[in-house]
Structures are given as C-alpha cells and as structure tokens.
Structure 1
C-alpha cells in the first residue's frame, strides 16, 4: 500500500494541503484588494459561502434548523468569528503584507490559550506568557524590514493582531455556547450569514464605485477564498480535528512557511534573515503551547 493510501498517509496529505490552502488566504486577500474595497471583497463571499453551506445542511443533509436560544448564540458567534475577526482582518490587510498576515494567523492558538485563562479566571502560566512573547517577538522581527520597505504599516499590522483576538474570543465563546448538537455546516452556514448581515451596512456605507473593478482579478480571488479556503480547507481541518484535536494544531506550524513562500512568488515580497528568524520564533511559541496541550491530553 502506498504511503498516501494508509491512514497516516492520508492525515499527512490532509495536513499539508490544509496548511497550504489556509496560508494562501492572505495572498488571495491581497490580490483581491488590488481590485475592490475590503468589504466588497469579503461580504459577498460570506453570503455565497453561507448559502452553499446552508443548502448542503438543510436541503442536502436534511439537518434541522437551530432552535430557541441557538439563534442568538449563532448570531453572537457570527459577530466575533466573521464580522469582527474577518472584518477587521481584511481592513488590516490593506496595510499588511501577505506573509505577515499568514504569520499572524498562525498565532491564534496562543491567543486562545491566553484568553481562555482570563475567561476561566485561572492564573496565567509562565509557559503561556512565554509563548505569547515569542510569537509577538517573531512577528516584530519578520515585520521590521517590511515596515521599512513599505510592504506593511504599523496600523495595518495592529489591526490584523486585533482581529486575531476577536477570533480567539469567538472560539472560546463557541466552546461554551452548547452548539455542539448542531451539524458543523449548520453552525458555519448560519454564523457566516449573520456575520455578513452585520457587515452589510458597513459595505453599503463605504461603497465607492470608483474604487471597485469587478475584473478577473476580483473574480479569481473571490472564488479561491470561497472554494479552496472557506470550504476545502475547513473540511480538511475538521477531518484532522476528528482524528486528534491537539495533533491537528501542529499543522498550523506550516502556515507561516507556506504563507511567506506564496507571498514571495505571487506578491514578490522579500524574504530575508528577519523572515526566517520571525517564523522560527513564532513556531517556537506555538510549540510551547501545543506541547503543553499534548501532555495534558
């Protein structure tokens, strides 16, 4: 039997593919932003992705609709996980390089660990603080030459990091919201729809026809963000989580590597010793958090 035909081989292939597709989101976002405004790029994508997932869930799989308080919980989850996280992220990416965007995204497990301790009123462990310091130092080191060469701005990078905090709050809220009885397509479909609805007034208010060109660049970027990123990558992530949630998170380590590689090829962003040092520091911070989780498991 071939390596990729074995269960372990399938997990490895799924992990590598997930990391590549997830890391490509930052570059696809930067490409799309060259054609349209931030909200114009993301809000229609949310509605289209939501419709597809809800059709699969309710029309195809015949899953039941949310009930009672589940509607409110899905709306709150959509506010944090879509409206605030991706809404702030796409605005921040107008002033952040694609490589830095993927590097910041990889730090989510560290922010989740930190905010979980605060949420549950547990004392912060030195390991968690050290991992956060390593990740922040890594982002700072990788950003230094890009800031100097105008590939990124302090405001843009700050907004991207704020969006990571919003995502982490959403993840913690979801874990405590008792939505586990709903199918994943039901949860993702409705929370994406709610998130898009919350951002729709912002898109309408900011819309300027002169700043939007619905050309092939916009179309390809949007299709890539909807298909390979929002659907294929998420399904692969669920496949990895089903096998082992803690081990699945280790595939996030590849995201910064793929992210800077993709940005160098597509966006011609420079790679340097600072890039390597930054990636190593962030991966080191992630390792500390993940190794602790692995021991707890």
Structure 2
C-alpha cells in the first residue's frame, strides 16, 4: 500500500499554509495603511468640528461598540479598583492626551504627513522612556537612531516653515507624542494582561467623558453635520480606534510584534503620500530628505529592538 499523501491532501495543506503565510504578510501592511488614514480623516473632519468635539464623537462611538461586544461575548472585566484605575490612566494618556495634541496640531495647520512623522518617532521615544523609567538597556544603534530621527524631524521642519504660530502646532504634536509614549509604557507596566475588549472599552469610555468635558468647556459651537464629518467620524471610530488598535494587539499576540516595529516607521511616508493625494499637501526636497532620514533612523532602532 502506498504511503504517499494523496494529491488532494497535499494541495489542501499547501493551500492552508499559503493562506496563513499571506495573512501573516498582509496584517502588518494593513495595519500601517489603516493607521496612516487616521491623520487624513482627522484633517478632513476638523473644519466641521472642534478637536474635542470630534474626539467625543470618535471615542463615544468606539466605546459603545466595544462595550456592546464585551457584554455579548461575556468578556472578563477587571477584578479590582486598582485595575480599573490603571486602564483609566492609559486611556487618558494614550487616547486623550495623544489625540488632543495631534488634532490641535492639525487644526493649527500642521500637515498630516508631518504630524505622522512626529508620532512616528514613537518607537525611539518609547525606547528612551523605557530606558529612563523601566531601566531597559539601550543599544548603540538605538542611540544613533534617536539622534538620526531628531535630525530628520529638524530637516522636515526647516523645509516646511509655517509662520509665527508654528510653535503651537509643533508643541501640540510633541504633546501628542508624549501622551502616546507615556500611555504605551504605562500599559506595558500595569495593563499587560488586560482583555482587549473590556480594557479598550473602559479606556474609550473614560476618554469620552474627559474630552466631552473639554468640549463643553472650550467649544460652544455645534458641529457642522456634513457628510465629510459623519464619514470621517465613522472611519476614525470603527477603523482607527477599534480596527487599527485591535489589529496591532492581534499581531502582537500572534508573535508579530517585530513586524509592527519594523513597519511602523513607514507611517509618516505613507501619510505624507496620502496627504499629497487627498489634501494637496506637498513637501519640498529638504522635507523629503528629512522623512527618509527619519525612516532609516526609526527602522534601524526598531530592527534592533525586534532582534533582541
């Protein structure tokens, strides 16, 4: 009797393996594309609503969906008040401070590509923060990457002067970066074991209440309920706040954290291309050189971390 596998079984195994390989390859690329679109959607929505009002809509819709999913799927909830508090802090840092800074920067005229470039420094800034706060060792390449990333941002800023109010936009962008980095480090230390559904739902609920208070305080005008605002809000809430973040956690749990780190430095360039295509934002040669330098620097540091 022949012991060779049947042709159909061999073909089926190849097909299953090929599909798994395709999924593993496509998930990081899809994540980068989804993450990059958030800057474009935010830029399109901001003329129709203040930044805190837009964030209230974004976080509120995402919170409703995540809480409904948590209830339907009977996801586990935090068991102690301390765990609830840690999740709330992560939400305030990673969602409220991060996106408030970015949306304020976009509203003050910062191009979507440059906003993405500043947030694209997150791997470098997180590595530095982990070195200072969590006592994680920094390799020599990471120090070079940090310096190269800062030099690249300086080139971009030099190649894209924005006038007298530029310091506000850049300052808000840096504040957004600080919120993302602090939230990432805090979550790594205190919320590593959170359930994705309930943990994200709690973060979004706390974030909604925080930005709602800011919107009522600072933004009295009602949003302009245009098609552009509604479509952008739906995209930001469902695709970015839920889809992109969930995809990131899925890849990490599948052991693809290194792929995320290696591809994350492509976000600024992809966002800049989208900004040119959809928003008419164009960058000069000096700014393009800055993007390239920053991508190389962040990529070098990310591959070093991934290779540990």
Task: Report the TM-score, using the length of structure 1 for normalisation.
Answer: 0.90
Contact 1:85 1:167 in 2 (8 A): yes
Map 1:130-145; keep pairs closer than 5 Å: 130-145=144-159
User: How has the CA–CA distance of structure 1 residues 181 and 239 changed in structure 2, closer, same or farther, with 3 Å as cutoff?
Assistant: closer
Q: Distance in 2 between matches of 1:65 and 1:183?
A: 8
Among 125, 128, 149, which residue is 2:142 paired with?
128
Which position in structure 1 is the counterpart of 2:277? 265
1:290 Cα deviation from its structure 2 partner = 1.6
Q: Does 1:56 align with 2:69?
A: yes
Gaps spanning 5+ residues in structure 1: where?
none
Contact 2:75 2:197 in 1 (8 A): no
Q: Distance in 2 between matches of 1:3 and 1:277?
A: 42
Contact 1:4 1:10 in 2 (8 A): no
Gaps spanning 5+ residues in structure 2: where?
1-13
Q: Does 1:293 align with 2:305?
A: yes
Larger Rg: 2
Q: Distance in 2 between matches of 1:123 and 1:195?
A: 32
Count of residue correspondences? 292
Map 1:266-285; keep pairs closer than 5 Å: 266-285=278-297
User: How has the CA–CA distance of structure 1 residues 17 and 270 changed in structure 2, closer, same or farther, with 3 Å as cutoff?
Assistant: same
Among 114, 132, 151, which residue is 1:100 paired with?
114
User: How has the CA–CA distance of structure 1 residues 109 and 3 changed in structure 2, closer, same or farther, with 3 Å as cutoff?
Assistant: farther
Q: Does 1:184 align with 2:211?
A: no
Q: Distance in 2 between matches of 1:136 and 1:25?
A: 23
Pairwise CA RMSD of aligned residues? Answer: 2.3
Contact 1:142 1:274 in 2 (8 A): yes
1:5 Cα deviation from its structure 2 partner = 4.6
Q: Distance in 1 between matches of 2:16 and 2:73?
A: 32
Q: Distance in 2 between matches of 1:259 and 1:240?
A: 21
Contact 1:3 1:9 in 2 (8 A): no
Task: Report the TM-score, using the length of structure 2 for normalisation.
Answer: 0.87
Contact 2:113 2:275 in 1 (8 A): yes
Which position in structure 2 is the counterpart of 1:236? 247
